[in-house]
């Protein structure tokens, strides 16, 4: 990459612009647009995510402070906050969702051989949701309770990476288990989720598709034990049982045997009971799989802390979803760059460095070498010094 270009411009080189233009054309995103095309809108929104801009006025002021560098960033002129606000309101949010999906697929291919520490050939997914609170007076379309508004971000996280393979943004009233209806089960994959997803009719759909699930049991689950397997209680395991559901509707919705595994966490002394349809993995691996589910919680925490989805640049449903999908795209883009350039930094460090050096003209790979740029190729390194004799 050319070190004479801004760091932000080099980051944008990782966007598949041919696919980008095809998606924009599909949704007629640039139809009758003379200024501020979709490519410019994406660059501005990505810049806002990367540099932690809090508002439209903040974005306008930051870009306006560096007018000589805007063209090199792919912007023809300074962006007015009203122009960006109108674009976020009018342009279909599905444009950004499809672009994020392309970046996610690319990122997952790069991380497909990563080890999650469980010595499994199966793909392991963690399914969960997070609620983003909103002001009811400003976001009336996201009605959640009588005094507040909210949206939910349902996420299926591939634990290799970890990279989200599925995201659905709904209103806050949508139940967690309903997200199972939106997922195409992958045969052989393992889906790890909390007990909010215990819906036996939907879990049986996973089972029939050849997929496995690991979840926690509900306290009031009606069942009887068919067989007990021996366990080593020194490892924290308490029991490993084959069970059958007894409830009328539960038995009709899930007529097959299930596996019930008891475990006591040695660190917290908390008793956990897991439910799965996998009878081949060791009981200790079932417990370790559920522990790995914590990665999705860390993903939600990371994306809320490091990307701009707490402060929204618009109040309409389209503007909110535009910002969320742009944030997801930036997350996937950071994961792609980190892997392709073999950067030995965390995603948090990557975005922190990028946020303060976006306007600087240094080579991308050199910006993450702890300030030591001595080994980077300087395009002017071969020029003679005027005072060398």
Same domain, yes or no: 163 and 137: yes
Q: How much is the average pLDDT of 195-214?
A: 94
Same domain, yes or no: 168 and 40: no
Q: Which of 214-218, 252-256, 268-272, 350-354 has the lowest mean pLDDT?
A: 350-354
Same domain, yes or no: 238 and 278: yes
Q: 142, 172 in Cβ contact below 8 A?
A: yes
Q: Is residue 124 part of a domain?
A: yes
Region for 242 from its dihedrals, namely left if φ exceeds 0, alpha if ψ lies in -120 to 50, beta otherwise? beta
Q: 276, 261 in Cβ contact below 8 A?
A: yes
Same domain, yes or no: 124 and 250: yes
Same domain, yes or no: 171 and 130: yes
* pLDDT (tens digit per residue) in 261-291: 999 988 888 899 999 999 999 999 999 999 9
Same domain, yes or no: 70 and 159: no
The residue with greater pLDDT, 357 or 275, is 275
CA 378, chain centre distance (Å): 36
Q: Determine phi and psi for 106, rounding to 5 degrees.
A: -65, -40
Indicate the average pLDDT of the chain: 86
pLDDT(389) > 70? no
Q: Is residue 180 part of a domain?
A: yes
User: What is the model's pLDDT at position 380?
Assistant: 39
Range of the domain at 251: 116-299
Q: Is residue 345 part of a domain?
A: yes
Same domain, yes or no: 295 and 252: yes
Same domain, yes or no: 258 and 333: no
Q: Is residue 190 part of a domain?
A: yes
pLDDT(88) > 90? yes
Strand partners, 134: 149
Q: Is residue 224 part of a domain?
A: yes
Q: Is residue 151 part of a domain?
A: yes
Same domain, yes or no: 292 and 163: yes
User: What is the model's pLDDT at position 253?
Assistant: 94
Q: How many domains does the chain divide into?
A: 2
Q: Give the CATH number of the domain where residue 146 resides.
A: 3.90.350.10
Q: Is residue 252 part of a domain?
A: yes
Confidence of residue 370 (pLDDT cuts 50, 70, 90): low
CA 151, chain centre distance (Å): 16
Q: Is residue 110 part of a domain?
A: no
* pLDDT (tens digit per residue) in 282-324: 999 999 999 998 888 888 888 877 777 767 888 899 999 999 9
The residue with greater pLDDT, 32 or 72, is 32
Same domain, yes or no: 122 and 209: yes
């Amino acid at each position: 990459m050319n070190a004479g270009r801004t760091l932000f411009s080099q980051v944008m080189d990782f966007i598949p612009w041919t696919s980008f233009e095809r998606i924009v054309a599909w949704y007629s995103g640039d139809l009758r647009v003379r200024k501020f095309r979709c490519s410019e809108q994406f660059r501005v929104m990505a810049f806002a995510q990367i540099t932690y801009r809090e508002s439209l006025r903040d974005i306008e002021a930051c870009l306006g402070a560096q007018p000589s560098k805007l063209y090199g960033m792919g912007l023809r002129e300074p962006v007015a906050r009203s122009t960006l606000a109108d674009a976020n309101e009018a342009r279909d949010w599905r444009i950004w969702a499809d672009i994020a999906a392309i970046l996610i697929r690319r990122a997952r291919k790069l991380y497909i051989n990563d080890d999650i520490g469980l010595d499994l050939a199966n793909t392991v997914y963690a399914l969960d949701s997070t609620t983003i609170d909103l002001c009811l007076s400003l976001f009336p379309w996201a009605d959640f309770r009588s005094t507040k508004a909210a949206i939910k971000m349902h996420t299926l996280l591939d634990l290799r990476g970890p990279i989200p393979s599925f995201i659905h943004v709904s209103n806050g009233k949508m139940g967690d288990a309903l997200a199972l209806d939106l997922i195409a089960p992958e045969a052989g994959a393992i889906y790890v989720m909390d007990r909010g997803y215990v819906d036996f009719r939907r879990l049986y759909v996973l089972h029939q598709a050849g997929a496995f699930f690991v979840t926690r049991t509900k306290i009031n689950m009606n069942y009887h034990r068919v067989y007990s397997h021996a366990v080593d209680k020194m490892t924290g395991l308490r029991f490993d049982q084959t069970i059958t559901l007894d409830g009328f509707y539960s038995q009709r919705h899930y007529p097959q045997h299930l596996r019930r595994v008891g475990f006591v966490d040695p660190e917290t002394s908390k008793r956990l009971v897991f439910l799965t349809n996998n009878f081949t993995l060791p009981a200790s691996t079932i417990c370790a799989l559920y522990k790995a589910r914590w990665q999705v919680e860390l993903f939600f925490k990371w994306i809320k802390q490091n990307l701009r989805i707490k402060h929204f640049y618009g109040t309409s449903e389209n503007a909110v979803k535009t910002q969320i999908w742009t944030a997801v795209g930036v997350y996937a883009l950071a994961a792609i760059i980190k892997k392709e350039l073999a950067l030995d930094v965390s995603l948090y460090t990557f975005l922190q460095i990028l946020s303060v050096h976006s306007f600087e003209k240094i080579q991308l790979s050199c910006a993450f070498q702890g300030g030591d740029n001595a080994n980077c190729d300087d395009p002017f390194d071969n020029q003679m010094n005027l005072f060398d004799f």
